[in-house]
């Protein structure tokens, strides 16, 4: 063990040489480090957790990547997906693809004696992933589709159900318009109610049988209006999109979930700015406090510095002693900060204590991403940055004269 490290440990672990001023300085240093760790952990875990939760909610409802026909217009009425160049089986076999499901969408109106609501009817087929959608259900189920005949069950959002005073097993009339402007009436039974917390989805979408949508849009029996492609990792959308685009044919095009709702994607981007800003501010505060601790310790131990120089210790060794000593002071603060920070995050993750307005934040509780790498990276990062920041002020030691230091009181 080197002399600076050995001496630093002796000072740090010694209790008899700490006066009241030392105790206050050590407490301030550890408190600033602990607060820095707590704020940084909460900022990163909730920021990344929110980004991930919102992206997953968007993607799990309508696919990470969707395929549509080039003939599709600006309305939500599907055009038939062109089969030329479209290889669904190859798409399913791609390594990053978790699933593919077909659909046909058509606009309409739900109405009863209480109210009416404009809707986008999303007709699903037998390949619909009911298990993936289950996380959104708050009552009932999703429609069971066989694609033989017309299934009368629909699953609608809590918002639409509330506006129309509907509950599971209630009946509702839907009105659709055909190309010749003649209305088509359909009577449905509510089999489920869902909630994604994303306003653009919850205000509009109703899940039902694909054959109803085909009939309204005058499609053939096996025609589909789009594909919802689900990936194994939501963060791989940009990476996998070009590969999938090669398999959809030139008459169709792909749309990423992040492009489908650009206002949400822009809002998510704010998290990166906020995380960077808050972490930077906390690092500055921690570094300033630690530098202050070092300078006060140097001034307080001027006599010891003079004695060490008299005994032959070099300026470099003494600087290393005080830098190591200051970093050792930080370690209890790091541990306490991590314990408190992870404790608060765990409470939020498992009990959802802090609630949010989903109309503004797209989630109803603060999401938390408990990645074990976060406390490690934050702690190591603060230690390294603090160590680097301490080098310059530690040169004050070289200005101290051994003779004057020993006489200093």
Residue at 367 is within a domain: yes
258 touches 134 (CB < 8 A)? no
Are 354 and 230 contained in the same domain?
no
Residue with tokens 């990276």: 377
Whether residue 42 is predicted with pLDDT greater than 60 in this model: the reply is yes
DSSP β-bridge partners for residue 119? 108
Are 305 and 281 contained in the same domain?
yes
Give the H/E segment covering residue 108.
strand 97-111
Residue at 373 is within a domain: yes
Residue at 66 is within a domain: no
Residue at 197 is within a domain: yes
Are 307 and 220 contained in the same domain?
no
Q: Which pLDDT band, with edges at 50, 70 and 90, does 72 fall under?
A: confident
H helix intervals, 19-167: 20-62, 88-93, 130-133, 158-163
Three-point CA angle 215, 221, 225, nearest 5°: 70
Residue at 65 is within a domain: no
Residue at 256 is within a domain: no
Are 46 and 96 contained in the same domain?
no
pLDDT digit string, tens, across residues 296-347? 887 777 777 777 777 777 878 878 888 888 888 888 999 999 999 999 999 9
How many domains does the structure of the chain reveal?
A: 2
pLDDT digit string, tens, across residues 90-119? 999 999 999 999 999 999 999 988 788 999
Q: Which pLDDT band, with edges at 50, 70 and 90, does 80 fall under?
A: very high
Are 41 and 125 contained in the same domain?
no
Residue at 62 is within a domain: no
pLDDT digit string, tens, across residues 166-196? 999 999 999 998 776 788 899 999 999 999 9
Are 208 and 78 contained in the same domain?
yes
pTM value > 0.85: no
Quote the domain boundaries for residue 27.
3-56+265-407
318 touches 397 (CB < 8 A)? yes
Give the CA-trace dihedral at 356, 362, 365, 367, to 10 degrees.
-130
Residue at 369 is within a domain: yes
Residue with tokens 């449905």: 188
Higher pLDDT residue, 370 or 271? 370
Instruction: Look at residues 200, 224, 250 and tell me which one is the last residue of a structural domain.
Output: 250
Are 273 and 169 contained in the same domain?
no
171 touches 237 (CB < 8 A)? no
pLDDT digit string, tens, across residues 345-389? 999 999 989 998 887 888 889 999 999 999 999 999 999 999 899
Are 329 and 235 contained in the same domain?
no
Residue with tokens 């009939």: 215
Cα atoms in the 13 Å half-sphere on the side-chain side of 213: 31
Q: What is the DSSP letter of 80?
A: P
Are 163 and 41 contained in the same domain?
no
């Amino acid at each position: 063990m080197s002399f600076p490290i050995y001496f630093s440990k002796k000072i740090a672990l010694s209790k008899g040489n700490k006066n009241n001023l030392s105790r206050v300085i050590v407490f301030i240093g550890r408190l600033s480090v602990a607060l820095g760790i707590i704020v940084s952990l909460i900022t990163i875990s909730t920021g990344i957790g929110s980004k991930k939760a919102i992206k997953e909610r968007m993607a799990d409802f309508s696919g990470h990547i969707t395929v549509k026909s080039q003939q599709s217009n600006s309305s939500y009425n599907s055009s038939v997906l062109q089969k030329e160049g479209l290889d669904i089986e190859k798409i399913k076999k791609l390594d990053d693809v978790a699933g593919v499901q077909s659909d046909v969408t058509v606009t309409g109106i739900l109405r009863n004696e209480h109210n009416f609501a404009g809707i986008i009817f999303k007709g699903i087929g037998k390949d619909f992933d009911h298990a993936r959608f289950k996380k959104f259900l708050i009552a009932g189920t999703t429609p069971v589709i066989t694609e033989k005949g017309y299934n009368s069950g629909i699953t609608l959002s809590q918002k639409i159900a509330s506006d129309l005073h509907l509950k599971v097993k209630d009946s509702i009339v839907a009105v659709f318009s055909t190309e010749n402007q003649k209305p088509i009436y359909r009577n449905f039974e509510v089999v489920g109610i869902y909630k994604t917390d994303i306003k653009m989805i919850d205000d509009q979408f109703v899940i039902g049988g694909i054959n109803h949508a085909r009939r309204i849009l005058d499609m053939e029996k096996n025609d589909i209006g789009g594909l919802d492609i689900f990936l194994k990792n939501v963060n791989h959308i940009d990476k996998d999109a070009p590969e999938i685009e090669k398999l959809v044919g030139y008459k169709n095009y792909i749309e990423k979930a992040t492009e489908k709702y650009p206002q949400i994607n822009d809002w998510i981007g704010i998290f990166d700015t906020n995380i960077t800003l808050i972490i930077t501010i906390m690092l500055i505060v921690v570094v300033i406090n630690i530098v202050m601790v070092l300078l006060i310790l140097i001034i307080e131990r001027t006599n010891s510095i003079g004695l060490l120089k008299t005994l032959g210790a070099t300026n470099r060794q003494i600087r290393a002693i005080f830098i190591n000593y200051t970093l050792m002071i930080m370690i209890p603060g790091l541990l306490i900060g991590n314990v408190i920070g992870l404790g608060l995050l765990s409470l939020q993750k498992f009990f959802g204590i802090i609630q949010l307005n989903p109309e503004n934040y797209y989630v109803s509780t603060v999401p938390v991403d408990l990645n074990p790498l976060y406390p490690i990276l934050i702690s190591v990062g603060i230690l390294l940055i603090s160590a680097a920041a301490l080098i310059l002020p530690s040169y004050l030691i070289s200005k101290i004269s051994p003779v004057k230091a020993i006489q200093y009181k």
